[in-house]
């Protein structure tokens, strides 16, 4: 498939929700490198790297209306979400991920300065426990936890605006990088090797994930923002290759030369754990053309600070 013509992002005002979060910080840097004027929306008074910061709560519809009016954004990247699957308060998933997104879209529709494109970050977790081969965007969703349900519901809510707003939904598979909280698996594993711990407790070591690099993910997001053919589409963002946790552990061991004892803690094994989650990225590549995700070993070396 040929790559569509792309617009120039230089000088464009881009509103980024969740700009102070893990992905948001890299997204802001990626957009700034393209010459964008970045407007951050979040709970902090000032977001590092952003040209402007607007403090507003996604759950407050009036505040969102005022924020969108002030942003006057040419593009929107909606990253703000509650993302940790093990989060204890189920209601938060729906108030932030679902209703917060609805408030944002309603405000954008009513804006006197409509954006040319809106990128909404969903999640590959919506696919659930489907494990037959590689998952493409036509795989029927079957979410296995409240986080995934809230993200799929968000997609359905976005569908209400498909004919009125220029929306692209992305379904990123697992990704990591420097700065991700240790409550997530890869940073947890890396931190144990970095401090040369003797023992590490994990859950199911045979869980396979399509682990990507946050730098590759934000590059894909940025390229999709430059691609008008992505409007109205749902797009996987993934490497197309799966790694089990044991493979990640073995890579870290090879990189650091440090061996540690792995103990499987039953408390870390979730009953509704998605066993295999590997994505098909052909649609993404068809839309944006050249895109080579960072290999997992290189990502781990970056996180460990070894031979980067």
- Name the residues annotated as catalytic: 147
Cα–Cα distance for residue pair 288/222, rounded to 1 Å = 10
Q: Label residue 243 left, alpha or beta by phi (over 0 means left) and psi (-120 to 50 means alpha).
A: beta
Reduce the DSSP state of residue 17 to 3 states and report it: strand
Neighbours of 229 (CB within 10 A): 17
The pair phi, psi for residue 60, each rounded to 5°, is: -105, 105
Sign of CA dihedral 23, 64, 45, 43: negative
Bridge partners, 13 (sequence order): 37
Cα–Cα distance for residue pair 213/179, rounded to 1 Å = 12
The pair phi, psi for residue 61, each rounded to 5°, is: -65, -40
Q: Label residue 78 left, alpha or beta by phi (over 0 means left) and psi (-120 to 50 means alpha).
A: beta
- Written as six digits, the tokens of 69 are 């009016």
Contacts of 132 (CB under 8 A, 6+ apart): none
Q: Is 6 exposed, middle or buried (0-12, 13-18, 19+ CB in 10 A)?
A: middle
Angle between helix 245-256 and 296-304 (nearest 10): 50
Cα–Cα distance for residue pair 181/93, rounded to 1 Å = 18
- Written as six digits, the tokens of 299 are 């990502």
Cα–Cα distance for residue pair 244/273, rounded to 1 Å = 13
């Amino acid at each position: 498939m040929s790559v569509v013509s792309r617009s120039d992002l230089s000088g464009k005002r881009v509103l980024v929700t969740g700009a102070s979060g893990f992905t948001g910080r890299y997204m802001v840097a990626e957009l700034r490198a393209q010459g964008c004027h970045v407007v951050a929306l979040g709970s902090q008074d000032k977001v590092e790297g952003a040209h402007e910061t607007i403090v507003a709560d996604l759950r407050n519809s009036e505040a969102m209306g005022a924020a969108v009016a002030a942003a006057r954004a040419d593009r929107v990247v909606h990253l703000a979400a509650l993302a940790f699957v093990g989060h204890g308060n189920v209601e938060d998933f729906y108030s932030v991920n679902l209703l917060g997104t609805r408030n944002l879209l309603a405000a954008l529709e009513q804006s006197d300065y409509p954006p040319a494109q809106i990128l909404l970050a969903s999640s590959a977790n919506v696919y659930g426990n489907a494990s037959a081969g590689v998952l493409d965007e036509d795989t029927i969703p079957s979410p296995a936890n409240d986080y995934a349900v809230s993200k799929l519901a968000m997609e359905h809510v976005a569908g209400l605006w498909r004919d009125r707003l220029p929306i692209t939904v992305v379904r990123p598979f697992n990704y990591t990088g420097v700065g991700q909280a240790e409550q997530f698996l890869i940073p947890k594993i890396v931190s144990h090797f970095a401090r040369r711990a003797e023992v590490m407790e994990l859950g199911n070591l045979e869980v396979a994930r399509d682990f990507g690099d946050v730098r590759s993910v934000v590059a894909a997001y940025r390229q999709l923002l430059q691609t008008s053919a992505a409007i109205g589409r749902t797009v996987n963002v993934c490497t197309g290759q799966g790694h089990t946790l044991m493979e990640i552990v073995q890579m870290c061991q090879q990189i650091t030369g440090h061996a540690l004892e792995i103990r499987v803690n039953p408390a870390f094994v979730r009953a509704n754990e998605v066993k295999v989650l590997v994505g098909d990225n052909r649609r993404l590549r068809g839309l944006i053309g050249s895109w080579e995700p960072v290999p997992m070993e290189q990502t781990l070396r970056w996180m460990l600070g070894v031979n980067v």
